[in-house]
Amino acid sequence: MSKDLVEPTAAEQTIGLVAIGRNEGDRLKACLNSAIAQLSTNHIVYVDSGSTDDSVAWATNLGITVLTLDLSIPFTAARARNSGYKSLYTDYPQLQFIQFIDGDCQLATDWCATALATLVAHQDVAVVCGRRREKYPEQSVFNQLCDMEWNTPIGEALACGGDALIRVSALQQVDGYRGSLIAGEEPELCLRLRRHHWRILRIDADMTWHDAQITHFSQWWQRTVRAGHAYAEGAWLHSAPPERHWVRESLRSWIWGFILPITILATLPESNGWSLSGGLVYVFLVAKICWNQHSNHSWPASIQYALFCVLGKIPEAQGQLQFHWHRITGRTPKIVEYK
C-alpha cells in the first residue's frame, strides 16, 4: 500500500472532488459552490448523466470540468464516479484523495480539512466519512426517515455512503467502483477495500447536507425497491464467508416482505381467517425496532421509523425479485430512480 504522508495544509493540492448528478437544479448549484469554497476549482469535476436542465452550462460557467456520460451505455452512479476520479487523476496525478459527493448534497463547512487531517493521521484508513444530514427533515416524513437512517455509529465502519473522502492509492488498488452496480456500490467497494486490509472510518463531524425532496409515498417506495435490489446483488456477489455481504438483509426481505405475507394470504380460506393472526409478528417487530430507536429519538419519531422499516420489507422484496428476474433472463437492469 502506498501511504505517503501529506500535510493537512496542502488540501487544495492533494484533494480532488467528483460530483455526480442529473437535473439537480439549485441543489447542484449549492453542491458546487460548497466545493469551490474549500477546494481548487481546477480539482473539481462534475459528471452529468443526461440532464435536461441547465446543469452542464451552469457548472461549465463556474470553470469546473464537466463530463457527460454516454447514455447508450446503461447509467450507474458507480460508473459516473469512476469516470470522474479517473479524469481528475489523469490531469492531476499529484492528487492523493478524492471527495465524492452526490449533486443533491452540499459540503459542510471545513469538512475537507477535517477529513484530510483524519486520513493523514491514520495511514491505514482508505475512507473517511462523517454525518450526512437531511437539509429539510420537517418537509416530509420520508425526509425525516432519511435523516434517521444516516445517523450511524461513530468509529470503524463496514461501509460508507455516496459522500466520502477516499485515498486514491486504495481506490486504484481495487480498480475503483464496480461500474455495473445500479445500487449499493459504496458498501461493495468498501468490502473489497477491507479485503486489502484498509479501514473505513466514520468521524464525529458534519460532512454533507442532503436535500432528498421525497414528498410522495411512491418516491419512498421506489427508493426502498432500490435498496432491496442492492441487497440482492450484493449478496449474489459476496455471500461467501467471512463477509456474507448483505445475506442477512436479503433474508429479512424475503421472509418479512414475501414469504410470510404470501403464506398468511394463501392459508386464509382453510384457516377460516385465523392465519391473519400471524400478522401479530409484525406488531412485535415494530415494537422491537421502536424500542431500539427511542434512546436517540422521540417516541413518535421512533414509532414512525419502525412502521416504515417493517413496511419497507415489501418493496425490498420487490427489489430482490427484480434483481433475480433480470439475472435469470439475462436482462441488463436499469437504475431505479425515485426523483
Domains of the chain by residue range: 8-214, 233-329
Closest CA to 246 of 258, 226, 223, 228: 228
Gap between the Cα atoms of 142 and 122, Å rounded: 36
Domain 8-214 has CATH 3.90.550.10: yes
Q: What local confidence, expressed as pLDDT, does residue 12 receive?
A: 66
Q: What local confidence, expressed as pLDDT, does residue 3 receive?
A: 43
Question: HEC string of the chain?
Answer: CCCCCCCHHHHHHHEEEEEEECCCCHHHHHHHHHHHCCCCHHHEEEEECCCCCCHHHHHHHCCCEEEECCCCCCCCHHHHHHHHHHHHHHHCCCCCEEEEEECCEEECCCHHHHHHHHHHHCCCEEEEEEEEEECCHHHCHHHHHHHHHCCCCCEEECCCCCCEEEEHHHHHHCCCCCCCCCCCHHHHHHHHHHHCCCEEEEEEEEEEEECCCCCCHHHHHHHHHHHHHHHHHHHHHHCCCCCCCCHHHHHHHHHHHHHHHHHHHHCCCCCCCHHHHHHHHHHHHHHHHHHHHCCCCCHHHHHHHHHHHHHCHHHHHHHHHHHHHHHHHCCCCCCCCCC
Closest CA to 66 of 32, 105, 98: 32
The contacts of residue 17 (CB under 8 Å, 6+ apart) are: 35, 39, 43, 44, 45, 98, 99, 100, 101
Distances (CA, A) of 59 to 22, 26, 37, 217, 262: 12, 11, 15, 32, 49
Residue spans of the chain under pLDDT 70: 1-12
Q: What local confidence, expressed as pLDDT, does residue 167 receive?
A: 97
Q: What local confidence, expressed as pLDDT, does residue 1 receive?
A: 44
Instruction: Decide the pairing of beta strands 97-102 and 199-210.
Output: unpaired
To 10 degrees, what angle do helices 141-149 and 217-238 make? 30
Distances (CA, A) of 142 to 76, 224, 247, 275: 24, 11, 26, 31
Q: What local confidence, expressed as pLDDT, does residue 8 receive?
A: 40
Closest CA to 202 of 286, 114, 79: 114
Query: φ and ψ at 258, to 5 degrees?
Result: -135, -60
Gap between the Cα atoms of 314 and 261, Å rounded: 9
Q: What local confidence, expressed as pLDDT, does residue 13 receive?
A: 77
Q: What local confidence, expressed as pLDDT, does residue 273 receive?
A: 81
